[in-house]
Structure 1
Amino acid sequence: MNLNKIKERQKQIIIIVVMLIFIISAMSLLNKRGSVIDISHTLPMVAFEEKDKLWQVVTYDDEPVTAMTIEVYPKYSEKFRKVYINYRSQFVFTDGSPITLNNEPLFWNRHGDIVDYDYNVIPEGMIFYIDGKGMKHRTAMTLKTLKTDLRSGVLKAKDKQREKQFNQMIEGR
């Protein structure tokens, strides 16, 4: 009888440990606002080895994507500047300075969404413009210098490996 009680107690402890692991894992995936982070939003759209190079963001019609900058001092001015992407899928201007919203840099994730550091999805029209008009939701964007390479499926080996790992996570392997 004692052996059965010990086995039963071990099963209960294992169940409790598994539940605690699940709860801790779920809590670690929460962002500041308390919503669950979709892991797929953390993957960058592209990753490049050339850290000093920038790639211009354009629409598939080859129209440049721009972002508005506002200067207040010494004289108020509004300018539309072309948008680029750096080696880690961060949106930047031609001088490498980050494009920000509420002082947070913006990134392009694997889903084609614009996200901030907390992986909040930002509507394109809040940030980007085409011909001075807010960009429409889900406007297809690409990179000017790599358009032909990206369309023919040329990816870095690290990107291919990351994509494979991501697909395995989704499939539950």
Structure 2
Amino acid sequence: PQGIANVAWSLVVLDSRDDTDFATLIAAFMPHAATDYPELPVHLSQMHQVGLHVRLHPDELPLSAAALADSGEFTDQCRAAFTAQPQVRSATQADVAEVVHGMGLAFEEEATLADAGHYSVDFLLTGKRLVVEVEGPTHFVRGAVGLRDSGATMLKHRQLQGFGYRVVS
């Protein structure tokens, strides 16, 4: 199951639109969702992001969309695992909250966006579709030309933008 979830998630990070690949991987992973093993929540979270990708591109991924539509409680199970991930408030995030508050901006901290795949964001400016993310060292990888966003960070930002949010980090 780990290989299936990792490949599917990696294809989403790469923004693939190969419907056959996604439909095959979704179908291959579903039976494992009914089993219980230590890494299952991580893999279900990855499959939740796969499902969001399919939801954002239904015209290009019709086989995958149909597979998820017929999946019963699988998508609920994936969303539950995704939303159960603990959120950690860093000292830097607390500093940013103080600055944003000092600017007189109304915001919600650690907001969960039900209309955007239940992503949790560091700050949502009240009345706006503007998200502020405080990115620590784990959000970056070292490339040939310096630091760049990790795959997970790129994916989160792209999916939030797909749901109509502007992301500042």
TM-score with structure 1 setting the length: 0.24
Larger Rg: 1
Give 1 or 2: higher strand fraction.
1
TM-score (norm 2): 0.24
More helix by share: 2
